[in-house]
Structures are given as C-alpha cells and as structure tokens.
Amino acid sequence: MRTIRLGRTDARVSAISLGTWSYGGASKAGEQSVGWSGQDDRESAAALIRAWELGINHWDTADVYGNGHSEEIIGSVWGTVPREDIFLATKVGWDRGGYPRWYHPDMIRSHVERSLRNLRTDQVDLLYLHHCNFGDQGEWLPEAIATLRELQQEGKTRFIGLSDWYSEKIMRYIGEVDPDVVQPYRNVMDDTFQSSGLKAYCETRDIGVCFFSPLKHGLLTGKYRKPVTFPEGDYRQNVPEFQDATLIQRLQEISRKLEQHFPDHPHPVLHAVVDVLLTDATTGCVLLGQRNVSQVETAATLGQSLSAEEAEWVRSLYQNSDLSEISR
C-alpha cells in the first residue's frame, strides 16, 4: 500500500485508509437511520487485522458510530495489532449528550474520555469536530476549540481535525479552528472540495485531507442493477440515489466503459472512482468503507493515483449533464 504524508501532521498514512462507520452496525438517532445494517462483529475485527497486515494503517471512527460500538471493535484488536502501527482518528459532535445545543464543553470532554475507554488507548492521533454546526453566528466554536486544545495539551490527542458534509461550511470555520487535518465529503460525482476553495486553502497551508464516502456508500461501485431499499437503522435509507433507476442504469453503463479502459487492473471501477480522488490531492488520502476481509483485499489493490489525463476522462464520464441533473 502506498503511503502519503498527511500534511503538517507529517504522519505517513495509507493512501487508502479505513472507514469504520459500518462497524457500529444498524442504529438510529431519533427517527433517523444513521448506521449500517447487516454488520457482523467478527467480520469487522477480521477486516481490521487484514487491513493492518496489508498496510492500511489509518483507521477512522467516531463516538456515534453504533454509539461507540465501532470504537469498541477497534479497541478489541490491540492484542493482535500493535497500537503504535495505526494512525487512529475519532470524532466528537453528533451526539449532544443531553445538552440542548451542539458542542457543550462537558459533552466534548466526557465523550472523548469514553472514546478513549472504548478504543482502549490513552491517546488518539487525530480528534475531529465532526460537523460545523457552531450556532448561527459561530458562537459555540470558541468553547469547542478551546476544549479540544485542552485535550490536546493533556495528551489525549496528537492532532485536531475539522469535518463536515459541506466543504463550504468547513471553509467558513477553518481559519478559526486552524485544523491539522480536514475531512470533507468527496467523490467523483461531487467536487465541492475544489469549487468551495477548500482544496486551494489546504494546499497553501499544508493541511492533511481525508476524503469520506468516496463510493457514495457503495453506489459508485456499479454493483447495483436496480433500486434497492435498506432496513431500519441503515443510513442508506436516506440516500435517494439508491432509489433512482435511471441513475443506477447510467452508473452501470459507465462501469462497463471503465472496465474496458482499465482492463489490466483487478478492480477497474474502484480504481477509477477512488484513485481519481488522489490525483490532485498532494496531502490527501481516501477513507474507504471496508466491511469485510474481501473488501479490504480489494482496497489494498487501490491507492495509485490516476494520471491527470486519465483523471480528466474519468471525471468527464460522471460530469455528463444528464447525470448531474439526475444526481442533484
């Protein structure tokens, strides 16, 4: 597995890093499905160990993934995987902890302490603010960032990160947070990372970048032949594109083109849609969700950037005007 330098952290992490949201299993926040159905704890643990064996050395989790269960699974493998071999990241923010507003300092502290217990470690490498809902005027940000800095000084995290589904929101707060790493949403159908100015900002300041949901939760593999519904507790219930027969058919057509174009790669579609994200991201890695050993072994074949010409061609397939209309 190729490694990249994660910006100013100076850490060498795998170009394809491991997202462990699904290891939390099915879960709900109020009425909303926020987890992944059908996950088996033994498969999760086996996937972690195989990832380590194959050099996938950066693992991403959060306090809310299965209400701490994803973290617990990670904490369970240190008997086999040396803790120091892994660049370990977790997040805080989506569970208010009973407070009426986001990011109460007491919530942050108690959740981070719980994450460390779940993860069976004294320190994580990276601690993110999971979203950018800091109040209408950003009024909750100063306390939130002060709390993270205190935790950093106490040695509970080495680095600070900032995340959100919207790169524009990260841009609004990045100056005040001054994160070492950002975690934006990016896939071949959505490049607000670039259009928002976040890409240029990170390059200028040597900020590490971890792209999340590179496969749009599996949709971009091209493996779906018809619309699919997911059980209660599965986040993909909320993603309308899984119901869109026209889009799914177009993704199949594109997949056939990619298979013809990259015949020598064992996983041509994944190579195209994942590795395209690395082409123009000098301090960037991809957080790919890998649910089992087979998906880890596939992930291990990825991580070589496409050339600029190949990347442009791959992007053009997905930027076709019909497709962007459908996916909006």
Ligand X SMILES: NC(=O)c1ccc[n+]([C@@H]2O[C@H](COP(=O)([O-])OP(=O)(O)OC[C@H]3O[C@@H](n4cnc5c(N)ncnc54)[C@H](OP(=O)(O)O)[C@@H]3O)[C@@H](O)[C@H]2O)c1
Determine which residue in the list 118, 162, 291, 300 makes contact with ligand X, applying CB under 6 A. 291
* Residue 287 binds to ligand X (criterion: CB under 6 A): yes
Task: Please identify which residue in the block is written with the tokens 């596939």.
Answer: 298
DSSP, res 68: T
Q: Which two tokens stand for residue 117?
A: 């217990």
* Min dist. Cβ of residue 309 to ligand X (A): 25
* Min dist. Cβ of residue 146 to ligand X (A): 22
* Min dist. Cβ of residue 28 to ligand X (A): 16
* Residue 217 binds to ligand X (criterion: CB under 6 A): yes
Site for ligand X in 72-111 (CB under 6 A): none
CA 213, CA 36: separation in Å to the nearest integer? 13
* Residue 163 binds to ligand X (criterion: CB under 6 A): yes
* Min dist. Cβ of residue 82 to ligand X (A): 21
* Min dist. Cβ of residue 298 to ligand X (A): 4
* Residue 295 binds to ligand X (criterion: CB under 6 A): yes
Nearest to 23 by CA among 116, 166, 119: 119
CA 277, CA 165: separation in Å to the nearest integer? 16
Which of 63/147 has CB closer to ligand X?
63
* Min dist. Cβ of residue 30 to ligand X (A): 18
DSSP, res 160: E
* Residue 4 binds to ligand X (criterion: CB under 6 A): no
* Min dist. Cβ of residue 196 to ligand X (A): 16
Site for ligand X in 113-142 (CB under 6 A): 130
* Residue 216 binds to ligand X (criterion: CB under 6 A): yes
Give the long-range contacts of residues 226-232, CB within 8 A, separation 24 or more.
Answer: 230/33, 230/37, 231/26, 231/37, 231/38, 232/26, 232/28, 232/33, 232/37
Query: Applying CB under 6 A, what is the total number of residues that bind ligand X?
Result: 26
CA 148, CA 132: separation in Å to the nearest integer? 14
Which of 87/212 has CB closer to ligand X?
212
Residues sharing a CB contact under 8 Å with residue 114, sequence separation 6 or more, in sequence order: 63, 68
CA 215, CA 201: separation in Å to the nearest integer? 24
Task: Please identify which residue in the block is written with the tokens 């004294």.
Answer: 122
Determine which residue in the list 9, 14, 22, 44 makes contact with ligand X, applying CB under 6 A. 22
Binding site for ligand X (CB under 6 A): 19-22, 60, 130, 163, 165, 183, 212-218, 221, 223, 270, 287-291, 295, 298
